[in-house]
A and B are shown apart, each in its own frame.
Chain A
Amino acid sequence: GAVVSQHPSWVICKSGTSVKIECRSLDFQATTMFWYRQFPKQSLMLMATSNEGSKATYEQGVEKDKFLINHASLTLSTLTVTSAHPEDSSFYICSANMAGGQETQYFGPGTRLLVL
């Protein structure tokens, strides 16, 4: 089956620092990758849609300069949380789908970010 990995699985950082999260599709080429954020006991909120070789599309209310997304290849997308603050502490999850398979998204295991 399709496998998506994320690295790191958890990170603790000081306020003001930047954190980079990687999302990789291990056994398929992902035409599109998605980044979600989930606060405790809440739903997944789509942050942005990332297409290889083009600029990410951000959802309303998500600051593109704060959450930098780079989709360098068909198997790798990165999310950088710049100048992280405690309110950015959350569970960040990426997902990917295959060409022609937009109805099935394969989720990575998620990254827990704690900003002190």
Chain B
Amino acid sequence: GQSLEQPSEVTAVEGAIVQINCTYQTSGFYGLSWYQQHDGGAPTFLSYNALDGLEETGRFSSFLSRSDSYGYLLLQELQMKDSASYFCAVLYNFNKFYFGSGTKLNVKP
């Protein structure tokens, strides 16, 4: 089976840095993805890590440690538009994704 744990809610101020952690237990693990979802919208892809280490894409970075079954999403220079829910998702059994329960990020002025 698959299980994912991530915080339910995080609050930060504009311009700050925030880290959203994700721990997982899964069989057939291929990689860890992060998705952003605004209220009422569909998820949009942010990142995918198959190997250990840090991947940077603009203001967002994602990290994976396969030995620790742990990853995180790092958001820098927070903007109000970053207020959304962030889901970690494990890719397992080649092409299936199992999503975590999501972290609601509140960015305050």
Query: What is the size category of the interface that chain A forms with chain B?
Result: 10 to 19
User: Is A43 interfacial (CB 8 A cutoff)?
Assistant: yes
A-side interface residues toward B, CB under 8 Å?
32, 34, 42-46, 49, 93, 97, 102-110
A61 CB to closest chain B CB (Å) equals 13
A114 CB to closest chain B CB (Å) equals 14
Query: What is the size category of the interface that chain B forms with chain A?
Result: 20 to 34
Are A42 and B101 in contact, with the CB atoms below 8 A?
yes
User: Is B30 interfacial (CB 8 A cutoff)?
Assistant: yes
Are B42 and A32 in contact, with the CB atoms below 8 A?
no
B-side interface residues toward A, CB under 8 Å?
30-31, 33, 35, 41-45, 48, 50, 87, 91, 94-102
Are A43 and B45 in contact, with the CB atoms below 8 A?
no
What residues of B have a CB within 8 angstroms of the CB of A32 in the complex? 95
B77 CB to closest chain A CB (Å) equals 24
Are B91 and A44 in contact, with the CB atoms below 8 A?
no
What residues of B have a CB within 8 angstroms of the CB of A102 in the complex? 30, 91, 94-95
**Contacting B91 at CB < 8 Å: which of A43, A103, A110?**
A103
A79 CB to closest chain B CB (Å) equals 15
A94 CB to closest chain B CB (Å) equals 9
Are B95 and A46 in contact, with the CB atoms below 8 A?
no
Are A109 and B101 in contact, with the CB atoms below 8 A?
no
Interface centre among B42, B98, B101 (most CB of A within 10 A): B42
13 contacts between A and B (CB under 8 A): A42-B101, A42-B102, A43-B99, A43-B101, A46-B97, A46-B98, A93-B42, A93-B43, A102-B30, A103-B31, A104-B45, A106-B45, A107-B42
